[in-house]
Amino acid sequence: MVQGAPLLKLPLDLYIPPDALEVFLDAFEGPLDLLLYLIKRQNLDILDISIADITAQYMEYVDLMTELRLELAAEYLVMAAMLAEIKSRMLLPRSADAGEDEEGDPRAELIRRLQEYERFKQAAQDLDALPRLERDVFTVHAEIPPGHSQRVPPEVDLRELLLALRGVLSRADLFTSHRVEKESLSLRERMSRVMERLHGGGFLCFTELFELDEGRPGVVVTFLALLELIKSSILELVQTEPYAPIHVRLRESTHPEPDDLALA
């Protein structure tokens, strides 16, 4: 495109210095690669190739390399000599009495090498098509920033929590009375009461949150209130070592007011 218009013909007064621009579209890794390219370009069968046509095209490529002043590898000249030998052997007359396969096909060795090279080239292309690290797949590295420390509290096993609850229930049975009265226990009210006791921000023993004189219903409601607060990430349980007493405290990131919790 020149000034927005396509340029289809070069101007006659345009001077282009020799060897100003050279473009190589095809690069061959060796004489067998060149022969395989010439055979496939003409849609020929490797088992029935025309030695005369292939030899002529091969020599045109060798002459082109010579004109471009490229360093011609010795293997290209060896292949050219091999093609010339095969071509001359196929031009020799054969005796009518001799069997057709007495000397064999002069192209047999070349065909075998071409087939073997084609198999290895296809295998190399299949391997190159597989995902490769740092080309198609990249590893991700996530580093911890300096100065960052993560405090992991010891995990409280649910079985130990249930054992502590069983101990509280067994002590609550000692305060069982036979008074018959209507008593209303509210889970929200008990959650607010637990929050009031922990509002100071310190630790409190798990068993101290239960009022044993309320009996089993009060213990169960208090335990359910604790579970709801833990589920809402308002409380956390801490145990310094296995079988040690369990302590409860408010999480540092959340300090809701007890009145707000009661109105929720």
- Of 79, 70, 83, give the one whose Cα is nearest residue 30: 79
Q: For residue 256, is it within any domain?
A: yes
Tokens 């391997």, located at residue: 127
Q: Does residue 251 share a domain with residue 163?
A: yes
Tell me: pLDDT of 66 over 80. no
d(CA 178, CA 7): 109
Q: Is the pTM here over 0.85, yes or no? A: no
Q: Does residue 190 share a domain with residue 117?
A: no
Residues 6+ apart with CB under 8 A from 58: 31, 34, 35, 38, 79, 80, 83
Residue 225 belongs to domain with CATH number: 1.10.10.580
Tell me: pLDDT of 183 over 70. no
**Read out DSSP for 57-69?**
HHHHHHHHHHHTT
Provide the pLDDT for residue 223: 92
Q: For residue 153, is it within any domain?
A: no
Provide the pLDDT for residue 264: 45
How many structural domains compose the chain? 2
d(CA 231, CA 251): 12
Q: For residue 134, is it within any domain?
A: no
Quick: pLDDT tens for 36-45. Answer: 888 888 777 7
Provide the pLDDT for residue 102: 47
Tell me: pLDDT of 258 over 60. no
Tell me: pLDDT of 165 over 50. yes
Q: What is the mean pLDDT of residues 216-226?
A: 90
Tell me: pLDDT of 95 over 50. yes
Quick: pLDDT tens for 189-216. Answer: 989 988 888 887 788 898 888 888 888 8
Q: Does residue 50 share a domain with residue 120?
A: yes
Tell me which residue range forms the domain holding 240.
158-176+184-263
Provide the pLDDT for residue 16: 62
**Read out DSSP for 238-252?**
E-SSTTSPPEEEE-S
Q: For residue 54, is it within any domain?
A: yes
Q: For residue 194, is it within any domain?
A: yes
Q: Does residue 246 share a domain with residue 201?
A: yes
Q: Does residue 243 share a domain with residue 172?
A: yes
Q: For residue 249, is it within any domain?
A: yes
